[in-house]
Amino acid sequence: MGFIEDISTATGMIRNADAVTLVSHIDADGITSEAITAQAISRLGIPVTPVFVRQLEPLTMRHVPNDDTLKIFTDLGAGQQNLMEEAGLPADNVLILDHHINQPAPGGTQYSQVNSQFYGPEYAKCSAAGVAYLVARKLDPANADLAELAVVGNVGDMMARETCGLVGIARWIADDGVESGRVRITKGLNCYGLSTRPLHLCLANSDDPILPGISGDPKAAADLLIRLGIYEKPSDQRVWEDLHADEAKLLASVVAEQMIANGESTERLFAELYFFPHETEKSPLRNASEYATMLNACGRWAKPKIGEAVCFGDRGQQYREAEHMLRHHRSIIRELCEYILDTGVTDAGSMQWIHTGDAYPDTIVGIGAGMALSKLDTTKPIMVLCNVADEPDLVKISMRTYEKVLRCGVDLQAALAVAAAEFNGAGGGHNIAAGAYIPKGCEDDFIRRVNELIAGQFAAGAPHR
């Protein structure tokens, strides 16, 4: 079916529901998808009960009641229809709003789904929050006030990374936010922390692209800012968002010149940025990428409801707790990243891997893997294995790679789905970022098998999907 049909099936199911159970993922895209969908449904006067899960697995399926409520799955479900079928969830009682690779139910149950992977390239780079927004907007155009949450979800799931800005339908959603006055789109430096980080730290932290003479060297960054008259002293705290247009322009042109002088491409130096002008200046809610990190900090540390409250507009007690979660999350991710780099990864041939044991929760190792990879061999995917705190018989797998590796034929979702199934585990996700749970004890064989599958993908060359 096409997008129009799928979306009208979805809105029809929602309108006919007496009550909804909304099952969502705990990351930024999951929390924003949930917040959009929950608000759109409540506005229709239909009661909604949220359930956040780390992942749909046999154990977490217990949190999904098999009752008369309409079950809506956001940012998960497309890859776990087998579990819904096993749990006996009837097709007319389930709606999936997702962007993960579809893995149909083996028994043939046809669950209704709006999945951005179904409708061609215009939709391909749209996360679950984008899908949820399109459904919400179809339910009522007044839901356009939720566009900023969709932008946060899209940016949080890296939909803007490769293209240095949102594209296709996700960009259309950002424009919708501009129209309602809640989103400001601008061009600027492709750095993280433009609203909250003192500019020299923001520049020194840049690793994609590497800024010659600046990345990794806050003092050199501060010296440059003093030379340009943007800082008065090295301890200045101005952020990028504080700059006047002529200062931003001057900084951009000097950094660009430095890159050109070093023979580096300036292609990734600038990106489209998404700001929320109604939020407090210098707060992490001012731009989409920092807002997304705050939600990840809540969700991935088992407090998704705090993130949800922030999306619903809480700027009091729950927001202060979210700020605390963000500080903690950042310091642990930084530590994890250093741990991976200091310990070193093992080169398996076609991928590199590290086992972090009990040191870090399974919900964050993927983020650390993604960040550490930028400082490792970026031509090979990275796999992090770790123990799962409350499930001693399981091992969590997270994999990350780069778009240029996908172009060599690599597909992490395919490799993990196949290998995990062979070892009685379950895996899924995206070609560029995927995960799995496998039984403890088979790690070495699993690593060998995934390496072999990825070697095969490299050998086959062109993308097979």
Binding site for ligand C5P (CB under 6 A): 25, 27, 29, 55, 75, 79, 100, 157-158, 192, 205, 293, 329-330, 333-334, 366-367, 370, 398, 426-430, 432-437
Transcribe 62-81 into DSSP letters. GGS--SSSEEEEESSSTT-H
Q: By C-beta, is 40 or 433 nearer to ligand C5P?
A: 433
- Closest C-alpha to 363, from 323, 405, 406, 307: 307
Closest approach, Cβ 271 to ligand C5P, in A, equals: 11
Q: By C-beta, is 198 or 370 nearer to ligand C5P?
A: 370
Closest approach, Cβ 296 to ligand C5P, in A, equals: 6
What is the amino acid identity at position 456?
Answer: G
- Closest C-alpha to 430, from 36, 38, 100: 100
Query: Is the bond into 392 cis (omega within 30 degrees of 0)?
Result: no
Q: By C-beta, is 286 or 329 nearer to ligand C5P?
A: 329
- Closest C-alpha to 81, from 417, 333, 458: 417
Closest approach, Cβ 165 to ligand C5P, in A, equals: 14
Q: What whole-number distance in Å separates Cα of residue 151 and Cα of residue 274?
A: 8
Closest approach, Cβ 12 to ligand C5P, in A, equals: 27
Q: By C-beta, is 17 or 134 nearer to ligand C5P?
A: 134
β-sheet bridge partners, residue 74 = 24, 97
* Nearby residues of 346 by Cβ (< 8 Å), 6 or more positions away: 352, 353, 354
Q: By C-beta, is 177 or 435 nearer to ligand C5P?
A: 435
DSSP 54: S
Q: By C-beta, is 115 or 293 nearer to ligand C5P?
A: 293
C-alpha triplet 335, 336, 341: angle, nearest 5°: 100
Closest approach, Cβ 2 to ligand C5P, in A, equals: 23
- Closest C-alpha to 322, from 293, 292, 296, 298: 298
Q: By C-beta, is 73 or 319 nearer to ligand C5P?
A: 73
- Closest C-alpha to 190, from 170, 151, 160: 160
* Nearby residues of 319 by Cβ (< 8 Å), 6 or more positions away: 309, 310
Q: By C-beta, is 43 or 330 nearer to ligand C5P?
A: 330
Q: Are 212 and 258 in contact (CB under 8 A)?
A: yes
For residue 227 the two structure tokens come to 């030379």
Q: By C-beta, is 16 or 374 nearer to ligand C5P?
A: 374
Can you tell me whether residue 361 is helix, strand or coil?
coil
Closest approach, Cβ 180 to ligand C5P, in A, equals: 26
Closest approach, Cβ 63 to ligand C5P, in A, equals: 16
110-142 burial, b if ≥16 CB within 10 A, otherwise e? ebbbbbbbbbeeebbbbbbbbbbbbbbbbbeee
Q: By C-beta, is 3 or 291 nearer to ligand C5P?
A: 291
Q: By C-beta, is 13 or 360 nearer to ligand C5P?
A: 360
Q: What whole-number distance in Å separates Cα of residue 255 and Cα of residue 292?
A: 27
* Runs of H (alpha helix) within 262-316: 288-300, 304-312
Closest approach, Cβ 55 to ligand C5P, in A, equals: 5
282-309 burial, b if ≥16 CB within 10 A, otherwise e? ebbbbbbbbbbbbbbbbbbbebbebbbb
Q: Are 375 and 341 in contact (CB under 8 A)?
A: yes
Closest approach, Cβ 108 to ligand C5P, in A, equals: 21
